[in-house]
Amino acid sequence: MKDTHMIQKGLFITVEGVDGAGKSTPLAWLTEQLKAIGHSVVLTREPGGTPLGERLRDLLLHEKMDLETETLLMFASRREHIAQVIVPALARGDILISDRFTDATYAYQGGGRGVSLTKIEQLEAWVQHDLQPDLTLLFDVPLEVAQARLAKGRDSLDKFEQESMDFFVRTREAYLARAAADPSRIAIIDSTGTFEHTRTQIRTALAQHLNMVI
């Protein structure tokens, strides 16, 4: 196992939100904006991000399994992701942007599924050591908006996207609780309105949290 303890040269940004929150377009825009001003950017995702992680992603999104098995596989994929992609990118001085990270596990498995937060915390400490994002952009919309976007924009839905409204209520509440507990890291982005409004909020978050102008 590679050690995640290191002198971090790069920046680690994560993007979070319930399914249908509207992350994809802003995520692509942010990546291109950072590249345009001269940064080396690595865009990745969870679960996934590595060949093994992508195989685990397919299982996690489509196979029924015990809730704790699901949580363990999330962290197995994450460990590989950290060792093979995240730590090397940060050591090179890149900006690493990940579409989801551990906040998603607290929200989906912890909030949505009801998996013990203590167990998630133990896995987080084991798998990540002291590695945490420098900034997390939490895209948030009313759940009715998210559900309408999913119904309109997807030909087929994975097992999470097919979950009940109650599941997403718990998941969103868990996300917002984490943002309230860690405002120095997590910036809530209201993605209900126009793309221009969303971009303005992202720019503000980067300026306030990372002293970065894009």
Q: Is 17 annotated as a binding residue?
A: yes
Q: Nearest to residue 186, comparing CAs of 1, 11, 61, 15?
A: 15
Q: Is 20 annotated as a binding residue?
A: yes
Instruction: Please tell me whether 24 is known to bind a ligand.
Output: yes
Which of 4, 136, 160 shows the shortest CA–CA distance to 79?
4
- Compute CA distances 85 → 21, 105, 109, 209, whole Å: 26, 19, 23, 23
Calculate the alpha carbon distances from 55 to 52, 61, 160, 180 in Å.
Answer: 5, 10, 17, 34
The string of pLDDT tens digits covering residues 75-109 is: 999 999 999 999 999 999 999 999 999 999 999 99
Q: How far apart are CA 151 and CA 66, in angstroms?
A: 27
Query: Is 184 marked within a binding site?
Result: no
Amino acid at 180: A
Confirm or deny that 112 is annotated as ligand binding. no
pLDDT surpassing 90 at residue 206: yes
Helices (H) and strands (E) in the chain, counts: 9, 5
Specify the range with the lowest mean pLDDT, choosing from 112-116, 154-158, 200-204. Answer: 154-158
In the chain, the domains with their CATH numbers are: 11-210 (3.40.50.300)
pTM of the full structure? 0.93
Residue 126 tokens, joined: 């084991």
**Average pLDDT value for the chain:** 94
At residue 8 the predicted structure's pLDDT band, cuts being 50, 70 and 90, is: low
Question: Does residue 126 contact residue 137 with C-beta atoms inside 8 Å?
Answer: no
18 is in an annotated binding site: yes
Residue 7 has pLDDT above 90, yes or no: no
Residue 80's pLDDT is what? 98
- pLDDT tens for 35-49 read 999 999 999 999 999
As a whole number of angstroms, the distance between CA 48 and CA 57 comes to 6
CA-CA distance, 192 to 198, in Å (whole number)? 8
Is residue 4 scored above 90 in pLDDT?
no
Binding residue per annotation — 193?
no
pLDDT tens per residue across span 14-34 = 999 999 999 999 999 999 999
Does 179 carry a binding-site annotation? no
User: What's the pLDDT at 151?
Assistant: 85
- For range 124-142, the mean pLDDT: 97
